[in-house]
Amino acid sequence: MNLRTFSLILFILSIGLSSGCGVYSFTGASISPDTKTITISTFYNNAPLGPSNMSVLFTENIKDYFQQNTSLELVDNNGDLQIDGYISNYTITPVAATSGNQGQADFSALSRITITVSATYTNVNDPTFDFDKTFSFFKDFDNNTTDLAANEEAFVEEIFDQIVLDIFNASVANW
């Protein structure tokens, strides 16, 4: 096989791989070619606890993720794909107790921040993919070595990163 034939075969293969029945990206997104826009509404904070900026932080994170990992245009209303929801819960709970020394009370050495987000996904072009789900993730931290006030925002961002990924996978990656 000569170089010209090899180049022609490679060209044909690349055309065939790029022109499937849908658009595929290396992020795992499988989006129909007729789907061009996405609307992501503000995720309001309905949790009784947690940092006051969670609504803005989560909404911007999910918008950024979809813009960076798909070719969809973000529009304010009536997108081909629509995502909305709210932050429904934020808790800090003890995970592991440590007994106190002579006369001291028992305390929690390890605590867990858990955040729950309720999301609704609507695919205008194919309603079979629509869902209304709850997504939750947590971060454990050591009370003895970690100052929650100094690290809470970083913990919340880490949790939100995972929840955004879960929503992305459940919606456009169809996992």
For the chain, which residues make up each domain, given as ranges?
36-171
**HSE (side-chain half, CA atoms, 13 Å) at 96:** 8
CATH number of 36-171: 3.30.160.150
Mean pLDDT of 83-89: 98
CA distance 124 to 149: 42
Give buried/exposed letters for 122-160 (b at 16+ CB in 10 A, else e): bbeeeeeeeeeeebbbbbebebeeeeeeeebeebbeebb
Q: What is the pTM of this model?
A: 0.79
pLDDT one-digit tens code per residue, 25-42: 444 567 888 999 999 999
